[in-house]
Amino acid sequence: MKSKPLKNWTPDERISAVKGIFNTITPHYDLLNRIMSGRRDVAWRKFAARRLPSDVNNILDLATGTGDLAIAIAEQFPRAQVTGADFVEKMMRLAETKTQAKGLGARIEFVAADATSLPFGDSEFDAVTIAFGLRNIPDRLAALREMKRVVKPGGKVITLEMTFPRNLRLRNFFRWYLNHMIPIVGGMISGNREAYTYLPDSIQDFLTPDQLGDLFDLAGFKAINKFPLTFGLTYLHEGIAE
């Protein structure tokens, strides 16, 4: 991994670092999410699942990782079919194990895929989601356009991403927590401190909620909404493809 600031990494350096990180931290990923977010991550994904229209049958969850959002969606919509896609297969193997354990194996399938070049046809899905994945993708506009391509006209696309709260005190606390606590706790549990240094850097390097809203607009979505969750630590963005 590079020691230079994240904003100076080339797209290829970033993609290769992201693959390396998620290949290494797979077994600790869920536990660390719960600890570091105080279990708020579970509530954020449930909120995302509830923002999907009630008539969705066929949903794509991109950058699905260990499958938590794919599972939350399958639980929210008991007749729906969910496809999880990610370019780190090790994360998806764990997702598969979790899915089987919950008896959801028949309704969730996992496909190896890069979010910027999906192996799916145009308008294949009723909705597309991506949770905590977009900030890891150097070409975010390409990813949003690809989501728009594979969702049906009128279909919804939802993103969840961590952001900095607006409140100054909370913001300062969050910055301290990200830069000091997360590398220590993440490093201790996963044995990979660098991975948990990348995480705070990637949040700090990401777009503001307004900038992400503008990118939705640029990608061609309509009816764009954004919702701050837990004092704006995370934002849900949604848009409708036309």
Binding residues (CB under 6 A) for ligand SAM: these are 18, 22, 63-65, 68-69, 86-88, 91, 114-116, 131-133, 136-137
Count CB neighbours of 211 within 10 A: 11
Residue 142 beta carbon to ligand SAM: minimum distance, rounded to whole angstroms: 9
Q: At what angle do helices 140-150 and 209-218 cross, to 10 degrees?
A: 50
Nearer to ligand SAM, 167 or 199 (CB): 199
Nearer to ligand SAM, 109 or 114 (CB): 114
Residue type, 185: V
**Which residue is at the shortest CB distance from ligand SAM?**
65
Residue 227 beta carbon to ligand SAM: minimum distance, rounded to whole angstroms: 16
Nearer to ligand SAM, 27 or 153 (CB): 27
Residue 242 beta carbon to ligand SAM: minimum distance, rounded to whole angstroms: 25
Residue 207 in tokens: 């777009």
Query: Judging by DSSP bridges, how do beta strands 81-86 and 58-62 pair with one another?
Result: parallel
Measured CA distances, 89 to 15, 33, 94, 107, 112 (Å) = 15, 19, 9, 19, 6
Residue 86 beta carbon to ligand SAM: minimum distance, rounded to whole angstroms: 4
Nearer to ligand SAM, 116 or 204 (CB): 116
Residue 157 beta carbon to ligand SAM: minimum distance, rounded to whole angstroms: 14
Contact of 100 with 167, CB cutoff 8 Å: no
Residue type, 205: D
